[in-house]
């Protein structure tokens, strides 16, 4: 794998849209060409070179390309957007849309990320070592097809609206989560290792939510079924299983109604 190091040298006055910082955009390019890729501040088009020092060379394909982003990029949006392969490592805090519409590859954000990380994710791995903002792994506005596949792991806490309209894939939050988890989900799995608040699994058609910590207020449409032993992300424990959301439609398979599943650790 070839590595390109992208170090911020000039902060944007507003915010920088850097959808070109991705293995797919860099693939096959040398530093001199990468420096000329476009970046946007407001309505003005600039180059990556205005804001970043670029060193190294990209691989021939996205899969062969690793990007390391250094420095404070908390005012830079869209890093890793739509990446299909390869690796991206963001060393400090980043702004919105980290790994948005990701299709493959691995993106590690070592700091915090703002809202809309991993929205519309189709595949790949998104690791956030700090905290994540709202709408983690959510669908874009209006789209009933949210996260389709892949893995998102947050080591810190996450905001509200995790996994909105989720269809597939897995989201693991090792810390706490805010309101509205897996609202409208039709598949996929969300694991909260810390505490959740309320409005968990609202309007859920299908899918799985596993909460290790506390739940402040349960949705009225979740009905206790039984206790179950599960191994979840390396931990074996006993969970209470709830079926829901009983206020929502559910498909039938082989004559049986298929509910969403909410597990709470006992």
Partner 1 sequence: MCSESGNRFGPDDLAWCCTLHAGCEYPMTKIVTDVVCPFCGVLCDDLEVEVSDDGKTVVEVYNACAVGAAKFLHTAAKDRVKRPRMQQDDGSYREVSYDEAIEYTAQMLAKARKPLMYGWSNTNCEAQSVGHEIAERVGGVVDNTATVCHGPSLIAIQDVGIPSCTLGEIKNRADVVLFWGCNPAHAHPRHMSRYSIFPRGFFTGKGHKGRKMIVVDPRNTDTMKLADIGLQIEQGRDYELLSAFRVAIRGEDLPSTVAGIPKEKIYEAVEIMKNGRFGVIFFGMGVTQSLSKHHNIDIAIMLTKDMNEYTKFAIIAMRGHYNVTGSGQVMGWQFGYPFATDLSRGFARYNPGETTSNDLLRRREVDAILVVASDPGSHFPISSVQEIAKIPSVAVVPDINPTSAISKLHVPVAINAIEAGGNCYRMDNVPIDARKVVDPPEGMLSDYEFLTRVNKRLGELMGVA
Partner 2 sequence: MTATEYLIRNGYVFDPVQGIKGDKADVAVKDGKIVKSVSSGAKVIDASGKTVMAGAVEIHAHIAGPKVNEGRNYRPEDKLFTYTPKKKGSRMAGGFSIPTTFKTGYEYARMGYTTCMEAAMPPLFARHVHEEMKDTPIIDEGAYPVFGNNWFVMEYLKNDEIDNAAAYTAWLLNSTKGYAIKVVNPGGTEAWGWGLNCLTVNDPVPYFDITPAEIMTGLMKTNEYLGLPHSMHVHQNSLGNPGNYTVTLDSLKLAEGIKATNKFGRETVLHSTHLQFHSYGGDNWGNFESKSKEVMDYVNRQKNITVDTGCVTLDETTTMTADGPFEHHLTELNHLKWANVDVELETAAGIVPYVYSPDVKVCEIQWAIGLEIALMAKDPMRCFITTDHPNAGPFTRYPRIFKWLMSADARKERIESFKHSAKMVDATHIAGMDKELSLYELAQMTRAGPAKSLGLASIYGGLAPGMDADVAVYNFNPDTPHKPDEIEKAFSSAAFVMKTGTPVVMDGEIVSNGNKRTIWVDAKVNENPQVMRDIKDKFLRYYSVTLGNYDVTKHFLSGNPRVIEVDATR
Q: How far is CA 188 from the centre of its chain?
A: 13
Does position 144 interact with partner 2 (CB under 8 A)? The reply is yes
**Is the CB of 144 or the CB of 234 nearer to partner 2?**
144
CB of 246 to partner 2, least distance (A): 17
Q: Identify which range of 56-64, 84-92, 243-251, 258-266 contacts partner 1 by CB under 8 A.
A: 243-251
Does position 254 interact with partner 1 (CB under 8 A)? The reply is no
Phi, psi of 39 (to 5 degrees): -140, 155
* Cα 242 to Cα 265: distance, rounded to the nearest angstrom: 11
**Is the CB of 141 or the CB of 253 nearer to partner 2?**
141
Handedness of CA 124, 25, 12, 15 (dihedral sign): negative
* Cα 165 to Cα 213: distance, rounded to the nearest angstrom: 23
Q: Identify which range of 135-143, 175-183, 195-203, 209-217 contacts partner 2 by CB under 8 A.
A: 135-143
Does position 261 interact with partner 1 (CB under 8 A)? The reply is no
- The half-sphere exposure of 203 on its side-chain side, counting CA atoms within 13 A, is 9
**Which residues, listed in sequence order, are joined to residue 192 by a DSSP beta bridge?**
173, 211
Does position 43 interact with partner 1 (CB under 8 A)? The reply is yes
Does position 141 interact with partner 2 (CB under 8 A)? The reply is yes
**Is the CB of 143 or the CB of 216 nearer to partner 2?**
143
Among 140, 195, 232, 237, binds partner 2 (CB under 8 A): 140
* Cα 194 to Cα 122: distance, rounded to the nearest angstrom: 26
**Is the CB of 146 or the CB of 221 nearer to partner 2?**
146
**How many residues are present in the chain?**
266
**Is the CB of 59 or the CB of 244 nearer to partner 2?**
244
Does position 231 interact with partner 1 (CB under 8 A)? The reply is no
Does position 225 interact with partner 1 (CB under 8 A)? The reply is no
Say what the alpha-carbon torsion angle 141, 144, 149, 153 is, to the nearest 10 degrees. Answer: 50
Does position 145 interact with partner 1 (CB under 8 A)? The reply is no
Per-position b or e across 73-105, b if 16+ CB within 10 A of its CB: bbbbbbbbbbbbbbbbbbbbbbbbbbbbbbbbb
Query: What is the contact surface with partner 1 in residues (CB under 8 A)?
Result: 13-15, 17, 40-44, 96, 115-116, 134-135, 140-142, 144, 165, 179-180, 183-184, 198-199, 202-203, 217, 219-221, 223, 245-248
């Amino acid at each position: 794998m070839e590595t390109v190091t992208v170090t911020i040298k000039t902060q944007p006055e507003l915010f920088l849209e850097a959808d070109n910082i991705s293995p797919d955009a860099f693939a096959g390019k040398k530093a001199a060409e990468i420096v000329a890729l476009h970046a946007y501040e407001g309505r003005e088009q600039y180059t990556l070179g205005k804001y970043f020092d670029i060193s190294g060379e990209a691989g021939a394909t996205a899969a062969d390309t690793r990007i390391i982003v250094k420095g404070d990029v908390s005012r830079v949006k869209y890093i890793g957007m739509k990446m299909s392969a390869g690796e991206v490592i963001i060393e400090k805090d980043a702004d919105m849309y980290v790994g948005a519409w990701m299709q493959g590859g691995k993106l590690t954000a070592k700091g915090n990320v703002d809202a809309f990380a991993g929205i519309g994710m189709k595949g790949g791995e998104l690791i956030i070592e700090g905290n994540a903002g709202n709408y983690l792994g959510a669908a874009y506005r209006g789209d009933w097809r949210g996260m389709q596949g892949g893995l998102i792991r947050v080591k810190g806490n996450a905001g509200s609206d995790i996994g909105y309209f989720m269809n597939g894939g897995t989201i693991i939050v090792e810390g706490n989560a805010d309101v509205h988890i897996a609202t409208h989900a039709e598949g996929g799995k969300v694991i909260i290792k810390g505490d959740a608040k309320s409005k968990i699994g609202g309007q859920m058609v299908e899918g799985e939510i596993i909460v290790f910590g506390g739940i402040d207020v349960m949705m009225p449409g979740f009905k206790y079924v039984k206790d179950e032993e599960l191994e979840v992300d390396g931990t074996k424990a006993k969970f209470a299983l709830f079926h829901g959301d009983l206020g929502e439609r559910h498909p039938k398979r082989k004559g049986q109604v298929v509910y969403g599943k909410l597990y709470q650790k006992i």
